[in-house]
Amino acid sequence: MTVKAGIVGWPVTHSLSPVLHGYWLKKYGIDGAFEKVGAEPGQFETVIAKLRDQGFIGVNVTVPHKESAFALADKVDAAAKAAGAANLLIFGPGHIEGRNTDTYGLARSLEESIGALKGDTAVLLGAGGAARGAVLALEAAGAGTIHILNRDGSRAQNLAAALTPNVNARLVPGTLTDWKNVAPGAALLVNSTSAGMTGNPPLDLDLSALPQSAAVCDIVYKPLETQLLKDAAARGHKTIDGLGMLMHQAVPSFEAFFGKRPQVDAGLRAALEGALYGR
């Protein structure tokens, strides 16, 4: 019998998850299906109930429903609890399990690209939902200090206060005006905002204060090379695009849905780049 899973969000038409999971389903010869499912704001619980009735084994969850998914789950894993958000729901008999694989995805992408941070300083731009998982990922990657910079400094302060009990790294909240002061000591810059995403204005950030040895990561993958990454590459920085996080965060989801631990490989990246560029 075909195992059914999907991705729920609004809008959801842009999602690459069906391409990603479809690649693995074909590669491993699994009888499964992965569908895009739209859920307008306020309709999330109704949509989830319908999918359970239709025999779905579970779903990934994307914006703007990750906090709703967390609230809907009967039990959650440690990553979801720490982030206050779930991007994976597993439908069990009489219960829903919520997990957060975003943290794992970013941590693995960073490890694959630059190795462990070994107590180094990281600067994180943003204080929204994506930033929560990014803080936990930076901790997992070995950051000793994480500067959280946001246009609204109070949001950065609230995020630092909420996550400090869950991490060993030192969390230092601030505003974007603090950038030039903290950049010289950074080994890694991570953008967790939507600035630079297709349809949004680019991130206006002067990278001249960043050490040449520092890496720059953008979790955005549409476009694959944001203006931030172009500017960083022009200055000789190691750059990390958002496709790595996308691929790695899907690994535990695929295993939960279809019972096989998949491998992230060059073929998967080529398939996703082909979907992005219409090839």
142-152 pLDDT per residue, tens? 999 999 999 99
Is the pLDDT at 198 greater than 90? The verdict is: no
Q: Tell which residue, 46, 58, 62, has the closest CA to residue 11.
A: 62
Question: Span 46-75, mean pLDDT?
Answer: 96
Q: What percent of the chain has pLDDT over 70?
A: 100
Lowest mean per-residue pLDDT among 77-81, 181-185, 243-247 = 77-81
| pLDDT value at residue 277 | 87
**Catalytic residue status for 50:** no
Handedness of CA 70, 71, 75, 79 (dihedral sign): positive
Tokens of 52: 């359970």
DSSP string for the chain: --EEEEEEESS-TT--HHHHHHHHHHHHT--EEEEEEE--TT-HHHHHHHHHHTT--EEEE-TT-HHHHHHH-SEE-HHHHHHT--SEEEEETTEEEEE--HHHHHHHHHHHHH---TT-EEEEE--SHHHHHHHHHHHHTT-SEEEEEESSHHHHHHHHHHHGGG-SSEEEEEEGGGHHHHGGG-SEEEE-SSTTSTTSPPP---GGGS-TT-EEEE---SSSS-HHHHHHHHTT-EEE-THHHHHHHHHHHHHHHHS------HHHHHHHHHHHHT-
Ordered by where they begin, the domains of the chain are 3-100+244-277 (3.40.50.10860), 103-241 (3.40.50.720)
Q: How many angstroms separate the CA atoms of 111 and 140, rounded?
A: 10
Angstrom distance (rounded) from CA 16 to CA 176: 31
| pLDDT tops 80 at residue 207 | yes
Segment 123-178, tens digit of pLDDT: 999 998 889 999 999 999 999 999 999 999 999 999 999 999 989 999 999 999 99
pLDDT at 69: 97
% of the chain beyond a pLDDT of 90: 90
Beta-carbon contacts of residue 52 (< 8 Å; ≥ 6 apart): 91
Q: Rounded mean pLDDT of 68-72?
A: 97
- pLDDT in the model for residue 166: 87
C-alpha dihedral sign at 98, 102, 103, 109: positive
pLDDT at position 128 is 86
| pLDDT at 199 exceeding the cut of 90 | no
Please say if the pLDDT value at position 278 is more than 80.
no
Contact 195, 130 (CB under 8 A): no
The predicted model gives 252-272 an average pLDDT of 98
Residue 279 has pLDDT above 80, yes or no: no
Which has the closest alpha carbon to 207: 242, 235, 165?
235
Flag the least confident range among 6-10, 219-223, 225-229. Answer: 219-223
Check 26, 27, 66, 81 and give the catalytic one. Answer: 66
d(CA 229, CA 226): 5
Residue 232 reports pLDDT greater than 70: yes
Residue 59 to residue 52: CA distance in whole angstroms: 10
Cis peptide before 202 (omega within 30 of 0): no
What average pLDDT does this structure show over 247-254?
98
